[in-house]
Amino acid sequence: MSQGPEDPSAPTSPDRFNEDRATSLLRGGADRPDLDAGIAAIREVLATLPTRPGVYRMQDARGDVLYVGKARALKNRVANYTQVDRLPLRLQRMVSQTRGMTIVTTNSEAEALLLEAQLIKRFRPPYNVLLRDDKSFPFILLRSDHDFPRIMKHRGARKAVGNYYGPFASAGSVNTTVNALQKLFLLRSCTDSFFSRRDRPCLLYQIKRCSAPCVDRISVPDYADLVRQARDFLGGKSNAVQREIEGQMAAAAEALDFERAAMLRDRLRAATFIQGSQAINAEGLPNADIFALAVKAGQVAIQAFFIRGGQNWGHRAFFPTHTEGLDEGEVMQSFLAQFYEEVPPPRVILLDRALPESDLLAEALKDAADGKVDISVPQRGDRKRLVEQAARNATEALDRRMAESGSKAKVWREMAEFLELGDDPQRVEVYDNSHIQGAHALGAMIVAGPEGFLKGQYRKWNIKTAATNDDFAMMREVMTRRFGRLLQEGAMEDTPNHESTGKGDAVWPDLVLIDGGKGQMSAVKAALEEIGVEDVALIGIAKGPHHGRDGREVFHFPDGREKMLPVNSPVIFLLQRLRDEVHRFAIGAHREKRSRAITASPLDEIPGVGPARKRALLLHFGTAGRVRAASLDDLMRTPGVSQAVAQVVYDFYHPGG
């Protein structure tokens, strides 16, 4: 849920990544000419707005989204932005930056709420509450498109045919559950291609985690019975499944089939392990999510428990940003709208506080939940105790985060002092090259801030002009392209004090770390001076006197000075971690590029010839070399290749003919 000017006491704050810098700007107020320009832009849109539900996006001069809001009546809501004297200072600043608006009308306010959440997650505006952790949740998938269905961990779009169970709080929790389910139900986890190639059981059969359907150690009906039990267990009928296995074990013992009885006993132990590993007692509770919120010193933590079929499928803490000054119920509602934009909602959502528009949120989630969603604040009983436990976990998670943030901030301050920076860096860019004897060369950049790595802003460049066996030339090319683009986009002039515009490519770094010594530092310094960049803090990090075996690093400054840190310094651990991360990213990107090159075909260079025609040519001639040497008549006789395509291929290899 967004916060608009109808509640002027609840402004949002800029992203923590630029919090100190942006706060100082907001305190300075908005210049009247900019404010008038923003009001004029809003009034121009206001003249054509309907009084129906919809979503609006406020945009700056660059077209970047500043704010996304929803409204029951668009005209009434947007009109409030023109009454600037009634707006808090931050929203005045937002209006002063506004130079355009995008409007989308919807059929209902509930539909507008869903669209608002989608757009906030997409554009991440600096004046909306943001759910920082946007990683997808893992699910358990029990496929149904095979005679012997596979059980597996799944992330991402749910396109495969089968039953999905989740979300789980982490990959670790879903891996543990899948392993236990394999022991309990002996379902296969291998891919279809691996399954089809087997002529003897694999190791999982030997350790009693698979029934080996690949080599007919179990019949289709018996395997289907195991699949049914797994569905019942994951669907909340775990006690019934346990009673069924107990009955089968008793029958096997009665028949003196002690081997089968022992196998069923092991399966029961696996079921007991799954139920006994629950961190909370959720017996009797249907599919439900539990949320509680904690606030300290302007920071917010929201703890979530995921209950499915009476089983706790894990818990996770979230730390939304841009929450300063907002009512806690508004923060929770905005968080939930964004959270359920990707995660399927359960039929029951338990909270520790009331929402300002809980009925609207329940209506918006109804379709995704395939039925009515009950959003409530329990007042007594087991549900109340579960919410209280979530609240305790939220407070503890926030305490841990604040303690970690304090230690991180201290290390960043010490790093700034050691590297002789004026202020603590908010954006650090680290650069490296990767190649093998000049082949498949590329440059890589990773980005980090006080809160950690900003992986969405990592970049890589294919080396185009530099000699690919010259590391210095490659680094010069990368620097020229990166900072040349910054200058071209006017990032220095358009973003005062290097303020983030929300786009990683247009944000000025506070510190540039180069993986290398004097040579790389000289190459980078010369490249930046050549394009007129002189105010960037540059540091080179190179192996120490013993090539890093003793944990020492040498830090090279642009003026030629060198400094070292003690081997047990927290600062050196931080800088080594940054250097290791750019190594990992550069090497991974290089391997990916090399793999593509290995599988590439010379026919890929022919313009206008698609994959099907290339495949037909290779099948007919055998190799790309024979395609190159073929005559036009031979090319025309290729099945599936028309005369026009044959002419294109022939002309490509015989430009003078």
3-class secondary structure for 191-221? CHHHHHHCCCCCHHHHCCCCCCHHHCCCCHH
Q: Over range 227-248, report the average pLDDT.
A: 80
Spell 159-172 as b/e; 16+ CB within 10 A means b. eeebbebbbbbbee
Q: Are residues 502 and 559 in the same domain?
A: yes
Query: What is the strand order of the sheet 151-154 is part of?
Result: 151-154, 139-143, 162-165
Give pLDDT, residue 491.
43
CATH number where 356 lies = 3.30.420.10
The answer to the question of residue 585 being in a domain is yes
Give pLDDT, residue 512.
93
The answer to the question of residue 282 being in a domain is no
Q: Are residues 588 and 444 in the same domain?
A: yes
Q: Which residues contact 623 (CB under 8 A, 6 or more apart)?
A: none
By DSSP bridging, strand 100-105 and strand 65-71 are: unpaired
Of 71, 67, 74, 111, which Cα lies nearest the Cα of 90?
67
Q: Over range 594-607, report the average pLDDT.
A: 65
Give the three-class secondary structure for 452. Answer: strand
CATH number where 633 lies = 1.10.150.20
CATH number where 76 lies = 3.40.1440.10
Q: Over range 256-277, report the average pLDDT.
A: 73
Of 276, 300, 333, the last residue of a domain is 276
* pLDDT surpassing 80 at residue 439: no
Tell me the residue range of the domain where 52 lies: 16-123
% pLDDT > 90, the chain:
23
Structural domains in the chain (count): 5
Give pLDDT, residue 281.
56
Q: Are residues 335 and 477 in the same domain?
A: no
Q: Are residues 295 and 263 in the same domain?
A: no
Give pLDDT, residue 374.
92
The answer to the question of residue 132 being in a domain is no
Residue whose tokens read 């609240």:
391
CATH number where 449 lies = 3.30.420.340
Give pLDDT, residue 14.
35
Q: Are residues 444 and 559 in the same domain?
A: yes
Residues 154 and 141: beta-carbon distance below 8 Å: yes
Q: Are residues 369 and 452 in the same domain?
A: no
Range with the poorest average pLDDT among 111-120, 260-269, 326-335, 477-486: 260-269
The answer to the question of residue 542 being in a domain is yes
Of 123, 153, 181, the last residue of a domain is 123
Q: What is the mean pLDDT of the chain?
A: 81
Q: Are residues 248 and 388 in the same domain?
A: no
The answer to the question of residue 129 being in a domain is no
How far is residue 431's CA from residue 429's CA, in Å, rounded to a whole number? 7
Q: Are residues 532 and 629 in the same domain?
A: no
Q: Are residues 592 and 446 in the same domain?
A: yes
pLDDT per position as a tens digit, 366-414 = 888 888 999 999 998 888 988 999 999 999 999 888 887 778 888 888 8
% pLDDT > 70, the chain:
85
Residues 68 and 94: beta-carbon distance below 8 Å: no
Of 123, 149, 175, the last residue of a domain is 123
pLDDT per position as a tens digit, 561-574 = 888 888 788 888 88
* pLDDT surpassing 70 at residue 638: yes
Give pLDDT, residue 9.
34
Give pLDDT, residue 212.
92
Q: Over range 131-151, report the average pLDDT.
A: 82
pLDDT per position as a tens digit, 526-538 = 888 888 887 789 9
Sign of CA dihedral 593, 598, 599, 600: positive
Q: Are residues 459 and 592 in the same domain?
A: yes
Give pLDDT, residue 254.
81
* pLDDT surpassing 60 at residue 496: no
pLDDT per position as a tens digit, 579-589 = 989 988 888 87
Q: Are residues 265 and 332 in the same domain?
A: no
* pLDDT surpassing 70 at residue 552: yes
- Predicted TM-score (pTM) of this structure: 0.64
The answer to the question of residue 7 being in a domain is no
The answer to the question of residue 313 being in a domain is yes
Q: Are residues 443 and 510 in the same domain?
A: yes
The answer to the question of residue 193 being in a domain is yes
